[in-house]
Amino acid sequence: MADRELQPEEKLALIKTQLSEVLHQDILEDVIIKQKRPLVIYWGTATTGRPHCGYFVPMMKIAHFLRAGCLVKILLADIHGFLDNLKAPIELVKFRAEYYKFIISSLLKTVGVSLEKLEFVLGSSYQLSADYTMDIFRLSSVVTEHDAKKAGAEVVKQVDNAPLSGLIYPLMQALDEQHLGVDAQFGGVDQRKIFALAQEVLPKVGYKERAHLMNPMVPGLAGGKMSASDPDSKIDILDTADAVRKKLRKAYAATGEVEGNGIISFVEYVLLPISSLRDPQGKGTFVCNKREGEGEPLIYHDIEALKADYLADKLTPQLLKAGATEALVELLAPIQAEFQASSEWQAIEKKAYPPAEPAKKEKKKKDKGSKYPGAGNVQATPDGSVEGKGKEEVEVSKSAGEALSQLNINGAS
């Protein structure tokens, strides 16, 4: 599969494989089968937090698109990252965009596809132009506040008294299709409302509809919801082999529980497809080795057989975790080697994600006891005088005249 030229029908099938939904499949068929030209598709990512192993899921689909001869544009959405409730400080988005470019390129090279038809586009390279700005104004005149908020509900961070930037975000994502000159946009099913908005409103300002391809939402590899504040909830691309093993040992994987199992999903959407792309016959393989003396390894070529064995407890959580761990460590090794060999990438990483400054120790207020002048319940009033117990020791005088008088006495010669 890695070498043979695909026929148009095969390209279409590969583009659609493992997708949750396709809107306007007729556009794909027209471009690939009738026009017989490469489909131009874009995937955007806001350059905010560090990319983690969950990024392998969209990367696998992008690998499919490239294998199918598509022209793929990756939008490094620096301005989107800033607009989404300031998830990325404006001072850092440029460096984070460069870091994302390094990571994504390395991920795709590891998968084993050619990057010849891949293009990176920085959002700010065209989103600050006069034409784009005018188009934002035009879209904002036909999209209601309700529809913009609804479109971004699953993508833009929702907060009380939200800033207007959250309403601009979905308009820009729709408009990017026109300014990037694509036939289709790819994203997760959480993007569906934005895709629907784009199909509805772009024709209102004179632009054509595009196809939309959606990945299913896949559970986190380490189990549960991923959180930037909990380093154990996600596996970073640059995590060491020991860190990966530790996190996967702690990952949630209940016996016989297939639904919501992040490790099984990772095998289904990443490990088997990667193996399939690398194999000349297009045959995916996932291996779970048993301990010495406990029998032959379990070898899987399709996910349904793996799920059946897991339900029957023939494939235990321990065997599944061990197999996924070794496959992931092997997958990450060349990426991490490339990082270690690139001083430029390392320098960008430090600028994009500078280490947090150590918390300053709060200076304790010295307890002077109750005998020093001013102790007790003395309080200053708005006119500058003081009231309360001990005010006689604090108060120099009740008026400027008395103060001068006392100074004259004390300072008489």
pLDDT in tens, 133-164: 999 999 999 999 889 888 887 776 666 666 77
CA distance 258 to 268: 11
Under DSSP, the state recorded for 294 is S
CA distance 216 to 53: 16
What does the pLDDT look like over 306-357, one tens digit per residue? Answer: 999 999 999 999 999 999 999 999 999 999 999 999 999 999 999 999 887 6
CA distance 185 to 180: 10
CB atoms within 10 A of CB 204: 12
Task: Give the domains, in start order, of the chain with CATH numbers.
Answer: 8-215 (3.40.50.620), 231-352 (1.10.240.10)
What does the pLDDT look like over 89-108, one tens digit per residue? Answer: 777 888 999 999 999 999 99
Residue 412 has pLDDT above 60, yes or no: no
The mean of the pLDDT values for the chain is 85
Q: What local confidence, expressed as pLDDT, does residue 197 receive?
A: 95
- Sorted by sequence, the CB contacts under 8 Å of residue 114 that are 6+ apart come out as 66
Under DSSP, the state recorded for 361 is P
What does the pLDDT look like over 28-58, one tens digit per residue? Answer: 999 999 999 999 999 999 888 888 998 999 9
Q: What local confidence, expressed as pLDDT, does residue 90 receive?
A: 75
Q: What local confidence, expressed as pLDDT, does residue 9 receive?
A: 95
What does the pLDDT look like over 107-117, one tens digit per residue? Answer: 999 888 899 99
Sign of the alpha-carbon dihedral angle for 280, 285, 291, 293: negative
What does the pLDDT look like over 286-309, one tens digit per residue? Answer: 999 988 778 899 999 999 999 999
Residues in a beta bridge with 227: 230
